Structure 1
Amino acid sequence: MTFDLCPLTLILNRMKPIRIFRHVACEGPGYLATFLDRAGIPWELVAVDAGEAIPGALSDVSGLVFMGGPMSVNDPLPWIGAELALIRRASEADVPVLGHCLGGQLIAKALGGAVGPNAVREIGWHPVERLPDTDAWLEGLPATFTAFHWHGETFSLPAGAVPLLRSAHCENQAFAIGNTLALQCHVEMTAPMVREWAALYRDELDDPSPAVQDAGEMLAAIENRVAGQQAAADRLYRRWLRPITD
């Protein structure tokens, strides 16, 4: 006996993969990979940190994701120009693009915004606030939720971008433009990733402030904090995937 596959299963079986660009080994897709696996959405990793080339094609992917990294989008690294050009081409072709922290800054710069120093370094768990008239992207999210941050730079908004989130320490935490979503915060974090970063980058936590948590504060109630952020990430990722899955 045979059974017909449901329409969603048929769509997912035909779906081209999401291509995820990783810029440093410890800043991989994290919870995003879990979300995509759980939804049955194929994805592939481009390990830029391991010297893998930037694929220029868009015809073989459903969307592009750019992860974080300690470098600046203004650094003279050979792959940055290739990624900026790819983001511009994807935006023009309405291919969904998603960026986390450095990835969000890459999107901003590619689409005409500027990236430079934030007023303060923002590190640890800090609330982000929804801006008005953001239901098209943030429907179902609370007015504020706690997100993880680790950045010293920030982006300005490209022309035509819709601002979505802000925090007390960084005015531009997220924007959308077409099928593109740029995030300054790290909604992809898992508890092991937070622990790893707190150890690897511990020298950045030596001078705590209202915007910078020390390791003890960052790791307190870590499972609850991660679970709360992942609930928000579910809604953000699901909305970003809508052009692909609907």
Structure 2
Amino acid sequence: MHLHLLQHSPHHGPARLADWLTSMGHSYTIFHLDAGELPPRLADCDALVVLDGPMGSADDAEHPWLRRERKLVEQALDGSKPLLGIGLGAKLIASALGAVVSAGTFAETGWHRIDLAPDSPFDLPEQFDAFMWHRDVFGLPDDSQPLGGSAASPVQGFAWDAGRVVGLLCHLEATPDSVTALLDHQAPPAGCDTSPHTQPRDAMLDEPKRFDLLAPLLDRVLSQWLRSVPA
């Protein structure tokens, strides 16, 4: 399969997602929308991935290319190809499906436990730790199934259209390098100074094994996602 990846910041890249695609024999092209590249044509790929970014999902005044990206997301939802959103990408998908996207009560950064929803369709453990970097959250779109939630964010993800469309607020693709890039170059989400759900830099990076434990979780989600559409 050939996938198109939409990137919104040099510090919010695909991280382990790119390694997984290559290891599974898939090819991909990254489109840097923040650098002025136009969104691709959906017809030229087999699946679409919308990555995270530091902007809000409705920050059109500062990022006018978001309007074109939203149209592409809507086309993908109306089509039959797999669509995956992470962070900002999940917010764009949730909004296109009619869910409310807004600032959460607390910012959430670092490692936090997710409890799998009882009716979750995801092939994941009942509890697992994932990396977080957000303040905005979204509601569960109509006709979708929940991933589960953390203490600060009740909806950490969803699946829609029998798993063809997946949105993830959490970051299963995180690596030490990708988190270091965020910490070195990206301002933390608003509200981190007063949130009880944020962590200092050392707590995010001092246990490399946490990143290793994300790898099989990402593999499960991506494998299940790409199997959702018959070849």
TM-score of the pair, normalised by structure 2? 0.92
User: Does the Cα contact within 8 Å between 1:108 and 1:155 map onto a contact in 2?
Assistant: yes
> Counterpart of 2:226 in structure 1: which amino acid?
L
Confirm whether residue 147 of structure 1 aligns to residue 133 of structure 2: no
The equivalent of 1:113 in structure 2 is: 99
- Alignment of 1:60 with 2:44, yes or no, is yes
5 Å-filtered alignment, 1:33-182, equals 33-55=18-40, 57-76=41-60, 77-134=63-120, 137-139=121-123, 141-178=124-161, 179-182=164-167
Structure 1 or 2: more helix by fraction: 1
**Percentage of identical aligned residues:** 35
Q: CA deviation at 1:243?
A: 3.6
Q: Report how far residue 220 of structure 1 moved.
A: 1.6
Contact 1:127–1:167 (8 Å) recurs in 2:
yes
Inter-partner Cα distance in structure 1 for 2:106 and 2:193: 12
| Superposition pairs of residues 226-245 of structure 1, within 5 angstroms | 226-243=211-228
Per-residue Cα deviation, 1:129-168 (whole angstroms, up to 9, x for no partner): 110122xx322x2111110000010111222111112111
Corresponding letter in the other structure for 1:75: D
Task: Name the aligned partner's letter for residue 63 of structure 1.
Answer: A
- Residues 5, 51 of structure 2: 8 Å contact kept: yes
- 8 Å contact from structure 1 (residues 74, 115) kept in 2: no
- 1:93 deviates by 1.1
Q: Which runs of 4+ in 1 moved over 4 A?
A: 202-206
Return the TM-score normalized by structure 1.
Answer: 0.87
* Partner secondary structure for residue 95 of structure 1: coil
Give the structure 2 partner of residue 4 of structure 1.
none
More displaced 10-residue stretch of structure 1: 110-119 or 37-46: 110-119
Unaligned regions of 5+ residues in structure 1, if any?
A: 1-14
Whether 2:9 is the aligned partner of 1:21: answer no
Residue type of the partner of 2:141?
Answer: P
- 1:184-195 correspondence to structure 2 within 5 Å: 184-195=169-180
Between structure 1 and structure 2, the one with the greater Rg is 1
Offset of residue 209 of structure 1: 4.7
Partner Cα distance (1:203, 1:100) in 2 = 17
Counterpart-to-counterpart distance in 2, 1:38 and 1:245? 21
**What is the CA-CA distance between 1:199 and the residue it aligns to?**
2.1
Q: Residue 210 of structure 1: SS of its match in structure 2?
A: coil
